[in-house]
Amino acid sequence: MKNRLKELRESLELTQEQLGQLVGVSRQAINAIETEKYEPSIWLAYDISKIFNYSIEEIFLFEESERKSRAQQSRGVI
Is the distance from CB of 25 to CB of 49 less than 8 angstroms?
no
- What confidence score (pLDDT) does residue 72 get? 66
Helix (H, G, I), strand (E, B) or coil at 60: strand
Please, what are the domains in the chain?
A: 2-75 (1.10.260.40)
Residue 51, SS3 per DSSP? helix
Q: pLDDT digit of tens for each residue in the chain (78 aa)? A: 899 999 999 999 999 999 999 999 999 999 999 999 999 999 999 999 999 999 999 999 987 555 555 666 677 766
**Confidence at residue 76, expressed as pLDDT on a 0 to 100 scale:** 73
What is the pLDDT, as a whole number, of residue 1? 87
Q: What is the pLDDT of residue 75?
A: 74
* Global pTM exceeds 0.85: no
CA distance 44 to 21: 12
